[in-house]
Amino acid sequence: MTDDFAKMFATMMEQGQKMAQSFMPGMENVDAKAFEKFFPAMPKELLEMWFGKTFNPEGLDARTRFLVTIAALTVLGPVGEPQLRMTIKNGLAAGATKREVAEVIWQMSMFGGVPAMQKALEIAQSVFAETPEEKDA
């Protein structure tokens, strides 16, 4: 990583943290569905650019990164509901299947507990209901 890139990345992370902090004071009262309108699913090419190709071109693809993030958010439980909804939506857009999302959530029951898994599955089912049927699943 070059010094210029490292500086740009540090600045980007700092700006992201400030933005997240500015969102947090009222987040406990924001409806998850209303929050999603601010951050719709990104196109697959954009997801690959940011999460699959830019930071580590030989590393995980966007689909896998989203599945890993779904696992982490599941373990966090209901505090991450808006983020989990968006991550599931973006994971599907990046090529994850509904079955893969459900399996990842189910696997997390041993780490986050059954209640966290059940809540995450409820969230996933609501996202699935809003998502067109998969052709190959």
What's residue 137's pLDDT?
47
What's residue 3's pLDDT?
75
* CATH architecture of structural domain 32-129: Up-down Bundle (1.20)
Q: Are 60 and 68 in contact (CB under 8 A)?
A: yes
Does pTM surpass 0.85? no
What's residue 78's pLDDT?
81
Q: How far apart are CA 28 and CA 20, in angstroms?
A: 13
Q: What are the residue ranges in the chain where pLDDT is below 70?
A: 1-2, 5-6, 8-57, 134-137
Q: Are 66 and 87 in contact (CB under 8 A)?
A: yes
